[in-house]
Structure 1
Amino acid sequence: MGVDGSRTGLEAAAWAAAEAALRQTPLTVAHAVPKWVCGETVRYAEVARWMREGANTVLAAAQDRIQREWPRVRVEGLLLPGDPRSALIKASEGAELLVVGSRGIGGVRGLLVGSVAYGVTAHARTDVVLVHELPLSPRGEIVAGTDGSPGAGRALEFAFAEAELRGARLRAVQAWAWPHAGGFEPADREGEQDVLRRLKESLAGHQDRHPGVDVVAEVVHGHPVEVLKEAAVGADLLVVGSRGHGQFAGMLIGSISQALLHHAPGPLAVVHG
């Protein structure tokens, strides 16, 4: 996971530590600095030394919090040379999960998600969790957004596994309505029932692999972003695929996932298909 000394970075570290404890896996906390800072002989040696000390302080703060809250998690600090986005993506190759905070130090006022968070989510070759505010009173529920696409199937499998790890309920939500010039109008009842039937069918194989997970399937009228935002309030985690039906070929991350990067009310997992 990546940290930068910001409050959201520390919140992300706490979330990642809890996840590592559930998965019983080691956790690497990483911080990136410019390549020249890590060189043995540089023109501005004192500046480089000062920057390395600052970077190690950032890593130590994250490790200290993790050890206080999750003393059984084995945690390692890693100083990465280079651009934070490319360095984190490269370092996470082969990892189970990459975790980042939604915004870091130096984020532009008004932006809801930072450039590093967006960059790693779009380009990572592993699944990414973006940590916004942690829910004050999590309700023991994982929310998964689905649209029946292959990418949504991969996201559902991730969500089932998370629910099983946490002993949480899984709420699979599909937004559906007929678009028109003024927005969205409710679809007919017969069509809604057909969508719900197909949603339950898509869950069946996952339930067979995770028989202990309590599952609720819902079809909700409205725009997918608004539907999932509302469904995820207070949830432990919102899970979506990186791209779904109707996304343009070549897009690295779909419009729904992209919007939720900015507006998800809590931790958001973007699962790459």
Structure 2
Amino acid sequence: MKKRIIVGYDGSSYSRAALLWAMDEAAHTDATVELVHADERPIVVSPHPESTLERAVATARKAQPLVEVTARTVDAYAVPTLVDLSRQADLIVIGGRGHSIVAGLLGSVSTAVSAHARCPVVVVRGEATAGPVVAGVDGTDRAPEVLAFAAAQAAARKAPLRVIRAWPPVTGLWEETPIVTNAVTGREREPFDTLIAEIGDAYPDVSIVAEATVAHPAAVLTLASAHAQLLVIGSRGHGPFSGLLLGSVSQHLLRNASCTVAVVHHRGSSGPTR
């Protein structure tokens, strides 16, 4: 069965950029694309959604003629609609900004959908570049899935993969003590190096650069995004609440990254249920 990519489409320039990104992704992965327009009228006046979608489909087919693309309008709010559809999707793609009344209660559309979706979410930002795919990982059980998603993206795009593991610096009373070296020890780095070795074995054709550093994760990943074509991060949450929250780092990157951001959810709470 082909993979299914769903694009949240509202006719804005941001959603048009998301559509083109999704079409390119579908061409790389032999997936289908479905545009979903959430018609929130009468609260939000949406002029002629059918003609808007028809033009969008024509643009999409012109960009990637071999990709199967469909479109539909639903009478519902955008955020809960996309979250619900994520249960049967392989990927949700949305623009960096979007229009939704519900988003005003939960934050931006990108933050709300990225936090609650049950599959990976790609938030299209900035201009497309030919830089590396960057993966930001931590020491949690999310790291292998984040890295696997990033490696697959790098392989499909024939791009190098840059993996960053940032340990936040010690602050406060302990900051100036001799035991604080602001360096990553070999023991601390060992699980990270093991993870890199495993992904290197799985993707031998991908050029991988691994960086372990003491720095604020949000700051170092924001800086890395300036020269990346895609930044891949994980969602926050454990146990019954896994996938329902975005940490401060993820929220910062969704607002400030220079490139497109992919948020990967732990498979215990995500992925298509078919």
Match of 2:163 in 1: 172
Structure 1: 5+ residue stretches without partners: 38-47
Residue identity in the other structure for 2:143: A
| 1:14-43 CA-partner distances (Å, limit 9, x unpaired) | 111111111111100110013789xxxxxx
- Paired residue secondary structure (1:100): strand
State the Cα distance separating 1:195 from its structure 2 match: 3.8
Structure 1 residue 184 displacement after superposition: 7.8
Number of positions where the alignment pairs a residue of Structure 1 with one of Structure 2? 253
Q: CA 1:105–1:183 in 2, change beyond 3 Å: closer, same or farther?
A: farther
Aligned position for 2:230: 237
Give the equivalent residue in structure 2 for 1:97.
91
| Contact 2:236-2:246 at 8 Å conserved across structures | yes
Contact 2:133 2:161 in 1 (8 A): yes
Unaligned ranges ≥5, structure 2: 1-6, 267-274
Superposition pairs for residues 38-117 of structure 1, below 5 Å?
51=46, 54-105=48-99, 115-117=108-110
- Offset, 1:239: 0.3
- Residue 14 of structure 1 is matched in structure 2 by 20
**CA apart distance, 1:194:** 3.9
TM-score (norm 2): 0.82
Take 1:55 and 1:72, find their aligned partners in 2: how far apart are those partners?
Answer: 25
From the superposition, tell whether residues 157 and 91 of structure 1 become closer, same or farther in structure 2 (CA, over 3 Å).
same
Q: CA RMSD in A?
A: 3.1
- C-alpha separation in 2, matches of 1:184 and 1:54: 59
- Which deviations, in whole Å up to 9, do the C-alpha atoms of 1:98-155 show, x marking residues without a partner? 0001112579xxx9x96222221111111100111133x322x110001121112211
Distance 1:184 1:216 in 2: 30
The alignment partner of 2:148 has SS state of helix
Partner of 2:135: 144
Give the TM-score of the pair, scaled to structure 1. 0.82
**Residue 119 of structure 1: which of 97, 112, 120 is its match?**
112
CA contact (8 A) 1:142 1:238 kept: yes
Secondary structure of 1:27 counterpart:
strand
> Contact (CA 8 Å) 1:152, 1:244: kept in 2 or not?
no
Q: Which residue identity does 1:100 align to in structure 2?
A: I
* 1:32 correspondence with 2:30: no
- Does the CA contact (< 8 Å) of 1:143 and 1:239 recur in 2? yes
CA contact (8 A) 1:184 1:223 kept: no
